[in-house]
Structure 1
Protein backbone atom coordinates (compact mmCIF):
# COMPACT_ATOMS: atom_id res chain seq x y z
CA UNK A 1 0.00 0.00 0.00
CA UNK A 2 2.89 2.36 0.77
CA UNK A 3 4.31 1.90 -2.75
CA UNK A 4 0.88 2.54 -4.24
CA UNK A 5 0.55 5.77 -2.23
CA UNK A 6 4.00 6.92 -3.37
CA UNK A 7 3.19 6.13 -6.99
CA UNK A 8 -0.11 8.00 -6.71
CA UNK A 9 1.72 11.01 -5.26
CA UNK A 10 4.14 11.00 -8.19
CA UNK A 11 1.38 10.70 -10.78
CA UNK A 12 -0.97 13.28 -9.30
CA UNK A 13 1.57 15.48 -7.62
CA UNK A 14 -0.40 15.71 -4.40
CA UNK A 15 -2.18 12.67 -3.00
CA UNK A 16 -4.06 12.37 0.26
CA UNK A 17 -2.79 10.21 3.07
CA UNK A 18 0.78 9.34 4.07
CA UNK A 19 2.27 10.38 0.73
CA UNK A 20 1.18 13.97 1.40
CA UNK A 21 3.90 14.21 4.05
CA UNK A 22 6.49 13.82 1.26
CA UNK A 23 5.66 17.25 -0.15
CA UNK A 24 7.86 20.16 0.90
CA UNK A 25 7.32 23.91 1.27
CA UNK A 26 9.67 26.25 -0.50
CA UNK A 27 10.17 29.50 -2.38
CA UNK A 28 11.17 29.74 -6.04
CA UNK A 29 14.39 31.75 -6.34
CA UNK A 30 15.33 31.23 -10.01
CA UNK A 31 13.86 29.58 -13.11
CA UNK A 32 15.94 28.42 -16.08
CA UNK A 33 13.41 27.17 -18.63
CA UNK A 34 16.07 26.57 -21.30
CA UNK A 35 17.88 24.13 -18.99
CA UNK A 36 14.66 22.77 -17.42
CA UNK A 37 15.82 23.75 -13.92
CA UNK A 38 14.45 25.63 -10.92
CA UNK A 39 16.21 26.94 -7.82
CA UNK A 40 14.16 26.53 -4.65
CA UNK A 41 14.86 27.58 -1.07
CA UNK A 42 13.16 24.73 0.78
CA UNK A 43 12.46 23.14 4.10
CA UNK A 44 13.47 19.60 5.01
CA UNK A 45 12.83 17.04 2.27
CA UNK A 46 12.14 13.93 4.33
CA UNK A 47 11.95 11.39 1.51
CA UNK A 48 15.44 12.47 0.35
CA UNK A 49 16.81 12.84 3.90
CA UNK A 50 17.80 16.42 3.01
CA UNK A 51 18.00 19.36 5.43
CA UNK A 52 16.60 22.82 4.61
CA UNK A 53 18.70 24.68 2.03
CA UNK A 54 18.60 26.39 -1.34
CA UNK A 55 19.39 24.26 -4.36
CA UNK A 56 18.82 23.68 -8.06
CA UNK A 57 16.45 20.91 -9.19
CA UNK A 58 15.65 19.51 -12.61
CA UNK A 59 11.95 19.77 -13.49
CA UNK A 60 10.25 16.67 -14.86
CA UNK A 61 8.31 17.35 -16.96
CA UNK A 62 9.88 20.71 -17.87
CA UNK A 63 6.37 22.17 -18.35
CA UNK A 64 6.13 22.32 -14.53
CA UNK A 65 8.19 25.50 -14.79
CA UNK A 66 5.29 27.22 -16.58
CA UNK A 67 3.27 26.99 -13.34
CA UNK A 68 5.60 29.11 -11.20
CA UNK A 69 7.34 32.48 -11.06
CA UNK A 70 10.34 33.72 -9.09
CA UNK A 71 9.17 34.62 -5.58
CA UNK A 72 6.26 32.14 -5.51
CA UNK A 73 5.73 30.21 -2.29
CA UNK A 74 5.28 26.60 -3.40
CA UNK A 75 4.62 23.09 -2.19
CA UNK A 76 6.54 20.54 -4.25
CA UNK A 77 7.60 16.92 -4.47
CA UNK A 78 11.18 15.95 -5.32
CA UNK A 79 12.81 12.61 -6.06
CA UNK A 80 16.26 11.49 -7.14
CA UNK A 81 15.80 10.50 -10.81
CA UNK A 82 18.76 9.16 -12.77
CA UNK A 83 21.11 10.54 -10.13
CA UNK A 84 19.67 14.08 -10.30
CA UNK A 85 17.41 15.78 -7.77
CA UNK A 86 14.19 16.36 -9.66
CA UNK A 87 10.94 18.20 -8.95
CA UNK A 88 8.12 15.95 -10.13
CA UNK A 89 5.20 18.09 -8.91
CA UNK A 90 4.84 21.73 -7.87
CA UNK A 91 1.93 23.90 -6.78
CA UNK A 92 1.82 27.60 -5.91
CA UNK A 93 0.55 28.21 -2.36
CA UNK A 94 -2.14 30.86 -1.96
Structure 2
Protein backbone atom coordinates (compact mmCIF):
# COMPACT_ATOMS: atom_id res chain seq x y z
CA UNK A 1 0.00 0.00 0.00
CA UNK A 2 1.30 3.44 -0.94
CA UNK A 3 1.40 6.14 1.66
CA UNK A 4 -0.14 9.41 0.59
CA UNK A 5 0.14 12.76 2.22
CA UNK A 6 -2.90 14.22 3.88
CA UNK A 7 -3.10 16.98 1.26
CA UNK A 8 -2.97 14.48 -1.60
CA UNK A 9 -6.24 13.01 -0.34
CA UNK A 10 -8.05 16.35 -0.42
CA UNK A 11 -9.65 17.83 -3.52
CA UNK A 12 -7.44 20.59 -4.98
CA UNK A 13 -9.77 23.39 -3.86
CA UNK A 14 -9.96 22.10 -0.30
CA UNK A 15 -6.19 21.66 -0.12
CA UNK A 16 -5.69 25.22 -1.37
CA UNK A 17 -8.05 26.66 1.25
CA UNK A 18 -6.42 24.52 3.96
CA UNK A 19 -2.93 25.75 3.07
CA UNK A 20 -3.92 29.41 2.75
CA UNK A 21 -5.68 29.27 6.13
CA UNK A 22 -2.69 27.57 7.79
CA UNK A 23 -0.28 30.19 6.47
CA UNK A 24 -2.63 33.09 7.21
CA UNK A 25 -2.67 32.12 10.88
CA UNK A 26 1.10 32.52 11.13
CA UNK A 27 0.85 36.06 9.73
CA UNK A 28 -1.79 37.13 12.26
CA UNK A 29 -0.65 39.77 14.75
CA UNK A 30 0.32 38.43 18.14
CA UNK A 31 -2.12 39.21 20.97
CA UNK A 32 -1.05 41.83 23.49
CA UNK A 33 -0.86 40.36 26.99
CA UNK A 34 -0.87 42.18 30.35
CA UNK A 35 1.79 41.21 32.83
CA UNK A 36 3.95 42.21 35.77
CA UNK A 37 7.72 41.93 35.85
CA UNK A 38 8.85 39.69 38.69
CA UNK A 39 12.56 39.43 37.80
CA UNK A 40 14.93 40.66 35.10
CA UNK A 41 18.05 38.68 34.13
CA UNK A 42 19.65 40.92 31.51
CA UNK A 43 22.86 38.87 31.45
CA UNK A 44 20.93 35.78 30.31
CA UNK A 45 18.39 37.69 28.18
CA UNK A 46 15.47 36.42 30.30
CA UNK A 47 12.55 37.93 32.16
CA UNK A 48 10.14 36.44 34.68
CA UNK A 49 6.59 37.64 34.13
CA UNK A 50 3.34 37.09 35.96
CA UNK A 51 0.91 37.21 33.06
CA UNK A 52 -2.65 36.75 31.89
CA UNK A 53 -3.78 34.25 29.26
CA UNK A 54 -1.62 34.01 26.12
CA UNK A 55 -4.14 32.81 23.50
CA UNK A 56 -1.71 32.15 20.65
CA UNK A 57 0.28 29.79 22.90
CA UNK A 58 -2.86 28.23 24.43
CA UNK A 59 -1.44 29.17 27.84
CA UNK A 60 -3.36 30.23 30.92
CA UNK A 61 -2.36 32.86 33.43
CA UNK A 62 0.76 32.03 35.48
CA UNK A 63 4.25 33.22 36.40
CA UNK A 64 7.13 32.00 34.27
CA UNK A 65 10.49 32.79 32.72
CA UNK A 66 10.69 33.88 29.08
CA UNK A 67 13.60 34.41 26.76
CA UNK A 68 13.53 37.85 25.10
CA UNK A 69 13.95 38.29 21.36
CA UNK A 70 16.09 41.40 21.88
CA UNK A 71 17.97 41.90 25.18
CA UNK A 72 17.59 45.68 24.68
CA UNK A 73 13.92 45.19 25.64
CA UNK A 74 15.10 44.61 29.23
CA UNK A 75 17.07 47.84 29.48
CA UNK A 76 14.41 49.90 31.29
CA UNK A 77 12.52 47.03 33.00
CA UNK A 78 12.50 46.37 36.73
CA UNK A 79 10.61 44.13 39.13
CA UNK A 80 7.12 45.43 39.81
CA UNK A 81 6.64 47.12 36.41
CA UNK A 82 3.25 46.55 34.81
CA UNK A 83 3.81 45.66 31.15
CA UNK A 84 2.16 44.75 27.87
CA UNK A 85 3.95 42.10 25.83
CA UNK A 86 3.64 39.65 22.98
CA UNK A 87 5.12 36.17 23.01
CA UNK A 88 5.52 33.20 20.71
CA UNK A 89 7.42 29.95 20.45
CA UNK A 90 10.79 30.51 18.72
CA UNK A 91 13.16 27.59 18.21
CA UNK A 92 11.31 25.63 20.89
CA UNK A 93 11.59 28.40 23.51
CA UNK A 94 8.89 30.73 24.80
CA UNK A 95 10.07 34.14 23.65
CA UNK A 96 8.91 37.69 24.38
CA UNK A 97 8.72 39.45 21.02
CA UNK A 98 7.69 42.94 22.24
CA UNK A 99 7.63 44.48 25.71
CA UNK A 100 6.46 47.91 26.87
CA UNK A 101 5.68 49.46 30.25
CA UNK A 102 1.92 49.89 30.71
CA UNK A 103 0.75 53.47 31.27
Q: Which runs of 5+ in 2 are unaligned?
A: 1-23
Higher normalized contact order (CA 8 Å, seq sep 6+, divided by chain length) = 1
Partner of 2:99: 90
Q: Distance in 2 between matches of 1:72 and 1:56?
A: 15
- Give CA deviations for 1:52-79 in whole Å, capped at 9, x if unaligned: 0000000111111113111000000001
Partner of 2:34: 25
1:45 paired with 2:54, answer: yes
| Aligned partner of 1:57 among 50, 66, 70 | 66
Partner of 2:87: 78
Provide the aligned C-alpha RMSD in A. Answer: 1.4
Partner of 2:43: 34
Q: Which runs of 5+ in 1 are unaligned?
A: 7-18
**Bigger Rg, which one:** 2
TM (normalized to structure 1)? Answer: 0.78
Runs of 4+ in 1 over 4 A off after TM superposition: 1-5
Q: Distance in 1 between matches of 2:28 and 2:46?
A: 26
- For these two proteins, the number of residue pairs brought into alignment is 80
